[in-house]
């Protein structure tokens, strides 16, 4: 069960992300991304798709957090979840971003030294483990499969070499 504080933070963050995506769609892309005159796919297409999808996901987060916050109106539930979340130390909240940063630095080193097909599955499975995934099938089968599919998509589908 989520706490009152985390739901409020989710609402604030989702509104900020939604405003940034609207700013990106309305100002940044039209004024700073050149329009193609020859190619079939415009250079504005992928940034626009990314900004629209981020905006839609931010809107979904805002709506789900708002509805969850309305369900969490009982004072006893708010106090109980606040007391439970207060047990987390500042170091425990600070530890996860440091772990992610270390994993991403190791991925950059592995990518430069050994290539994408070695670095990506290891980094992906390590990130999944750091965020709570404990099933070996997901860690050792899905990670190389996802990395391999991304490699094929970039290498052969888009013509952008990753090696």
Question: For the segment 89-135, what is each residue's pLDDT rounded down to a tens digit?
Answer: 555 666 778 888 899 999 999 998 999 999 999 999 999 988 888 88
Q: What is the CA radius of gyration of the chain?
A: 21
pLDDT in tens, 16-34: 999 999 999 999 999 988 8
Rounded to the nearest angstrom, the gap between the alpha carbon of residue 57 and the centroid of all alpha carbons in its chain is 11
Q: In the chain, what percentage of residues exceed pLDDT 70? A: 81
């Amino acid at each position: 069960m989520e706490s009152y504080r985390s739901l409020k933070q989710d609402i604030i963050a989702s509104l900020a992300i939604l405003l940034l995506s609207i700013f990106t769609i309305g100002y940044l892309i039209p004024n700073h991304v050149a329009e193609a005159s020859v190619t079939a796919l415009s250079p504005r297409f992928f940034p626009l798709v990314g900004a629209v999808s981020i905006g839609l996901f931010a809107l979904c987060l805002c709506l789900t957090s708002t509805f969850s916050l309305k369900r969490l109106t009982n004072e006893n539930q708010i106090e109980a979840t606040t007391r439970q979340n207060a047990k987390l130390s500042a170091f425990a909240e600070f530890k996860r971003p440091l772990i992610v940063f270390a994993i991403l630095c190791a991925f950059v080193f592995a990518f430069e030294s050994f290539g994408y097909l070695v670095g990506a599955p290891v980094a992906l499975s390590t990130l999944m483990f750091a965020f709570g995934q404990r099933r070996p099938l997901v860690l050792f089968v899905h990670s190389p499969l996802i990395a391999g599919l991304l490699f094929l998509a970039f290498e052969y589908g888009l013509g952008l070499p990753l090696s």
